[in-house]
Structure 1
Amino acid sequence: MTRYLTKLGAKVGGIQNIPTHKALELGKGIDGLYVDGVPELVTGELSKWAEFAGVEAIRIPAYWMHKPASQLVMGEKARDDEKVIYFFHGGAYVSLSSHPSSSTSEIPRSIIAHTQSLRRSFAVEYRLTALGENPFPAQLLDALAGYSYLVNTVGFRPENIILVGDSAGANLALALTRYLISNSQAVKDLPSPPGGMVLLSPWCDLTGSHVVPGSSYYKNIPTDFLSPPPLTGPDFAPSTLAGPHGLDILKNEYISPAYKNLDATGLFKQFPPAFISAGDAEILLDSIVTLQERMVAGMGKEKVEILITKDAFHDFVGFLWFEPQRTQVVEAIGDWIERL
């Protein structure tokens, strides 16, 4: 992963030294609070994975961002028909932050600005993984805690929550939705699934099954700031996420729903409508197309909208200078949210 991040840092100005889950970082114009873990909502495979990995539901920092001039108070009770963004940042599960000062926060900030019905977004500072620390499913436990807070504390109706994630954040949005759907009958008081999801350059196959000759992983190396990560060894980022589970856990539908050899039958049954954005010049394109095809097969074409932007690289929506393509996609997302 070092090589992967070095190339990213060289092309986008370096990885910021910004807040993590270890502390709530407040300041002028920063609205944040701690969100309690929800062990009472954890069951089934998630419970077994957490126990095996030695991770628990914990209290984590979380941050609100409001539309300018909205005069909202942090955590103000939701209106009955109010929609909200629940955002998960990218960074391969090893870097970046949900803090409003992070570059990734430009994504929800821009979507709010281009969506009339949105007043605010929320994000948890989910745990980043490192060798021996915070392996899967720590991040899913944190995502679940934030979702419960939005529903049970702030009072948002689940159908009015729009999950938005870029890259690894989109991976986490898919995993949270899968958990909420799969365990709707098994856990008392488990909130219903969200009303929609926006997946920006989703990292949806961590197994390397799409890394084959002639694929976008190789064809788009000259046009993307990502390079195909090594498939084994200490620089293999997904291995840190897998941790003690071993690499076979990466083939799970929670982590790699686009894994080529995964049985996709019923994989996206009952999933909410989705908007997918990708660039035709990014190395993850082939895996994203596989994800889209599987979602269409499970949900119906009318519930899956994909926008592939010409000459665009990975996660381009997060880069303010990539215009006019970036704004065009954000406007399309805003229009899609209004139509939900």
Structure 2
Amino acid sequence: MIFPLRVGRIQNIPTHKALELGKGVDGLYVDGVPELVTGELSKWAEFAGVEAIRIPAYWIHESGSQLVMGEKARDDEKVIYFCHGGAYVSLSSHPSSPTSETPRSIIAHTQSLCRSFAVEYRLTALGENPFPAQLLDALAGYSYLVNTVGFRPENIILVGDSAGANLALALTRYLISNSQAVKDLPSPPGGMVLLSPWCDLTGSHAVPGSSYYENISTDLISHVEIELASHIFAGPHGLEFLKNEYISPAYKDSGSRVGLFKDFPPAFISAGGVEILLDSIMTLRDRMVADMGADKVEALVTEDAFHAFMLATSFEPQRTQLLKAIANWVERL
């Protein structure tokens, strides 16, 4: 889901600027990890004027759970690391946000999951927090799960919708690409659940006859929203930078981009049959299958479903069918 107006106007949305606690809300601050930032990421951050900072983060526990916030992980315990959507310009990781229904619902349908963790990554705005601020924040949260709470990386399942799925892909790419270059950099996660992933910010799939145009009357997001958010996210890097594999792994260029997903963990991909991003999501699926093998990529296209329909709690039975498919996939990991 892209903007708050699509799910109803939200007042006083929590942001990275403050930890918002309250009844039934478990949260804490997570320190930035500049020591884990290297190579291109370090250069991009310096150019954009962003640094690793301390950010709020929140836990969601299974209903009725007796878990204490941040309780040490059991050896075999799986956990969701959730990245919320909102085109990098809106919404929140706070348990009161509509986006939190996604990890909460997955936990409710999956026996082996009892908690979810999410950082309140920085939202971008004109002149503020362009790429890679959000990746720096996601890296800090992942390090906290592994090095502080003690989760084994193979037991972490990255879950993201829309821009959150984009961030999950970028974080995994960084962990894989720099495994030998950074001391104490955690290993990549055990799996990824990508819900309506926003995987091409360049607009390369916007061609006549594509889902980008054919589904404009059936989806909940618009071209204007996507294009504006893309421009803001690029910031000082410029629009050509959006072709970067960290940002647009489904960029439809003339090259084959073979090996783009080498060593990636198993992935579950969900898409709506009438969303405008459908074609780019299918490009992502095909590239992942080509690099990882069909046995490591499961894709479910739900007919008559719109972008990030998981957020629409009344969209049944499609929503429950998707949740059951995700639960079945998680249990088979």
TM-score by length of 2: 0.97
The match for 2:291 is 298
CA distance in 2, matches of 1:339, 1:190: 27
Pair 1:144 & 2:128 matched: no
Question: RMSD between aligned alpha carbons?
Answer: 1.2
Aligned to 1:255: 247
Give distance in 1, aligned partners of 2:218 and 2:68: 43
Question: What letter is aligned with 1:169?
Answer: G
Q: Distance in 2 between matches of 1:17 and 1:43?
A: 35
Residue of structure 1 aligned with 2:31, choices 28, 36, 44: 36
Q: Deviations over 1:283-327 (max 9, x none)?
A: 000000000000000100000000000100000011101111001
1:183 lines up with 2:175 in the alignment:
no
Cα distance in structure 1, aligned partners of 2:11 and 2:219:
20
- Structure 2 residue aligned with 1:212: 207
Distance 1:251 1:77 in 2: 40
The equivalent position to 1:246 in structure 2, one of 227, 238, 246, is: 238
Partner amino acid for 1:252?
N
Paired with 2:19 and 2:257, the residues of 1 have a C-alpha distance of 40
**Which ranges of structure 2 fall in alignment gaps of 5 or more residues?**
none
Equivalent residues in 2 for 1:156-167 (5 A)? 156-167=151-162
Shift of 1:15: 4.4
SS of the residue aligned with 1:45?
Answer: helix
Among candidates 329, 332, 335, match of residue 322 of structure 2: 329
Displaced runs of 4 or more, over 4 A: none
Aligned with 2:303 (options 301, 310, 314): 310
- Looking at structure 2, the residues matched to 257 and 166 of structure 1 have their Cα atoms a distance apart, in angstroms, of 16
Given that residues 16 and 96 in structure 1 are in contact (C-alpha distance below 8 angstroms), is that contact kept between their aligned partners in structure 2?
no
TM-score by structure 1 length? 0.95
Which whole-Å CA distance do the structure 1 matches of 2:84 and 2:195 have between them?
Answer: 10
User: How many residues are aligned here?
Assistant: 331
Partner of 1:60: 55
**Would the aligned equivalents of 1:209 and 1:260 in 2 still touch at CA under 8 Å?**
yes
* 2-structure distance, mates of 1:245, 1:319: 34
1:229 Cα deviation after fit: 2.6
| CA-to-aligned-CA distance 1:218-260 (integer Å, 9 cap, x gap) | 11111111112378xxx62111111111111100000000000
Distance 1:263 1:182 in 2: 19
| Aligned counterpart in structure 1 of residue 68 of structure 2, from 70, 73, 79 | 73
